[in-house]
Amino acid sequence: MINTRNAIVILVLLGFSSYSIAQSDMDDRKFRLGLQASPNLGWFRPDIQGFTKDGLQSRFGFGYGVMVDYKFSDSPNYLLTTGVNITTNGGGMVEAWRSDVDILDSTYTYLGKNDRTYRMQYVNIPILLKLRTGDVGYMSYFGAIGFDASFRTRAKANYDYTWNVSPIVSSEPDDVDDVDIKNQMNFMRLALNVTLGTEYNLTGNTNIYLGLGIHNGFTNIFNAKNNNLVLKALDNGWPQLDANGNTIISEKRAAKSLYVSLDVGVYF
């Protein structure tokens, strides 16, 4: 009986000992800092009929920056996560298009479609509530939910034309790359951020982590300026004409930005 009781005491002590060794690396710290890199795949969700849905395209992007975890309670399992990162992403949409070309004393009108590929860069500040498990061996797991507040620093687009009406074939407007479209894009973008992932303790306070993030934008990426309009399109995407043969101005551009990121980083 004595041996059995002693064995139980020893097992309990060993259990507490192993638990204390496997405690989170944030047990004695309020803050921890980290670095991350985040390749992503982005696309747009149009909110108007003027963008043809069969023209939607995804686009690869990349992000990098710093992370901060703040332990706001006595438990290391509940954290407030923020940081600053530079994120580039985008997508593509097709819209009805008109170009007027002046040749000598005459103006020629070209009607068709413009496959616009967008590339945008933002300074992104995530604000997330992170729920983190205790360590299981060297591993821990987390889920985070919150918002991204992003501020545009750059916006460019490539124009890829398909002309339906070409009065003079030899003078068709050429495709254009790297068009600056900052005057068409909103300065701020807000998105819902849901991220799931895992951490692995390398040594001491150093953890590497891997996460999968879904960033679902809920604000219009285009601004509300009066010249930010699309042409009214037929079902096949070509510009619709009125009784006098003129194109018809339709709605203001409106779309949401979404992307999925693979987050890789290290906490110190």
Domains of the chain: residue spans and CATH: 26-267 (2.40.160.20)
The model's pTM is: 0.83
Residues in the chain: 268
Instruction: Using alpha carbons, select from 233, 226, 228, 227 the residue that is nearest to residue 248.
Output: 233
Dist. CA 57–CA 116, nearest whole Å = 10
Q: What is the pLDDT of residue 12?
A: 41
Confidence of residue 29 (pLDDT cuts 50, 70, 90): confident
Instruction: Using alpha carbons, select from 52, 82, 49, 51 the residue that is nearest to residue 65.
Output: 82
Confidence of residue 56 (pLDDT cuts 50, 70, 90): confident
* Residue whose entry in the numeric block shows the structure tokens 């992370």: 67
Confidence of residue 13 (pLDDT cuts 50, 70, 90): very low
* More confidently predicted of 156 and 19: 156
**Average pLDDT of the chain, as a whole number:** 87
Instruction: Using alpha carbons, select from 94, 65, 130 the residue that is nearest to residue 261.
Output: 65
Q: How many CB atoms lie within 10 A of CB 33?
A: 12
Which of 4-8, 157-161, 249-253 is predicted with the least confidence, judged by mean pLDDT?
4-8
Give yes or no for residue 198 having a pLDDT over 60: yes
Q: What is the pLDDT of residue 200?
A: 95
Instruction: Tell me the mean pLDDT in the region 105-134.
Output: 93
Give yes or no for residue 5 having a pLDDT over 80: no
Q: What is the pLDDT of residue 165?
A: 76
Give yes or no for residue 90 having a pLDDT over 90: yes
Q: What is the percent of the chain where pLDDT is above 90? A: 64
Instruction: Tell me the mean pLDDT in the region 64-83.
Output: 93
SS3 78: strand
- Residue 113: burial class (beta carbons within 10 Å; 0-12, 13-18, 19+): buried
- Identify any residues that bridge with 209 across adjacent strands, giving them in sequence order: 199, 265
* Residue whose entry in the numeric block shows the structure tokens 């982590």: 209
**Residue 21 main-chain phi, psi, to 5 deg:** -70, -35
Confidence of residue 51 (pLDDT cuts 50, 70, 90): confident
Give yes or no for residue 75 having a pLDDT over 70: yes
Q: What is the pLDDT of residue 25?
A: 61
